[in-house]
Amino acid sequence: MSVEFSQIQIEPAYRKVAAAIGERILSRELREGERLPSETELARQFGVNRSTVREALRELESRGLVERRAGSKLMSVARPHHESIAAGVSDALLLHDVTVRDVWEALTILEPPIAQAAVRCRTSEDLGRINAAAAAFGAEHSDTEAAVERTAQFFRALGAATHNPVLQLAQEPLLQLLEPSLRVMIDKVPQARARIGAAQRQLLDALERQDEAGATTWMARHIRDFRKGYELAGIDLAMRLSA
């Protein structure tokens, strides 16, 4: 019996250059803010054309690993921002046909432990930011877009108070996907703003008293309340989300 082998995949040179630079960045050998050599120097070191280096840097820039800072011709090592990482995850989830129910169920699982961790780990500065987010929502009475943004900001402030980047990165794509349905609910359900504001005040009180159980309970109740709002707004939980 004859043995068959798969064809060898020939990787473009720019991918190899990007992988080599990326490995130095991810291993922390190259630190955030550190400038890379010029394209000409990188081309000399790698033994490739300058155009190959330029394409490699474009790929690294799209991944958020390098950036060109104002006033500099050289690329610097960067740290990918939460928002840009989350946007990529959100896009991927949209392509996997996630529904309103999928996002709501994920929030019921993730947000109560985030509230509990925020109680444990929050600083006075965190508490100030959460208080400001709740106050900003409470001051909003007409603009639906602003109400949605401030609702999401309250969740983000809680996530930041955990000081756990994994939880923040897990939370952000869900908040981005939550906003469209939240917009419809706030617009169509008159009592939605009052109920969101009341839940935020209860959560803030639990954070101030360092009441982990209270924060967990109120966050679970807050997310459950979203489902009631969806039903009142006539939102189909099986509806696939779109950009």
Q: Is the dihedral of CA 116, 117, 118, 123 positive or negative?
A: positive
102's tokens: 């999928």
Q: Residue 144, Cβ neighbours under 10 Å: how many?
A: 17
pLDDT tier at 125, thresholds 50, 70, 90:
very high
Query: Considering the chain, what percentage of its residues have pLDDT values greater than 70?
Result: 98
Q: Is pLDDT at 3 greater than 90 in this prediction?
A: no
Radius of gyration of the chain (CA): 23
Question: What is the four-CA torsion angle of 223, 228, 232, 234, rounded to 10 degrees?
Answer: 70
**What pLDDT was estimated at residue 142?**
66
The CATH class given to the 82-233 domain equals mainly alpha
Residues 156, 176: contact at Cβ < 8 Å? Answer: no
* pLDDT tens, position by position, 129-181: 999 999 998 776 668 999 999 999 999 999 999 999 999 999 999 999 999 99
Answer CATH for 13-77 from 1.10.580.10, 1.10.10.10, 3.40.470.10, 3.40.50.10490 = 1.10.10.10
- Tokens 């839940």 sit at which residue? 199
Residues 6+ apart with CB under 8 A from 56: 14, 15, 17, 18, 21
Domain with CATH 1.20.120.530 in the chain: 82-233
pTM value surpassing 0.85: no
| H or E, element range at 76 | strand 75-77
Domain with CATH 1.10.10.10 in the chain: 13-77
Alpha-carbon gap, residue 145 to 77, rounded angstroms: 35
* pLDDT tens, position by position, 42-99: 999 999 999 999 999 999 998 889 999 888 889 999 988 877 788 888 888 888 999 9
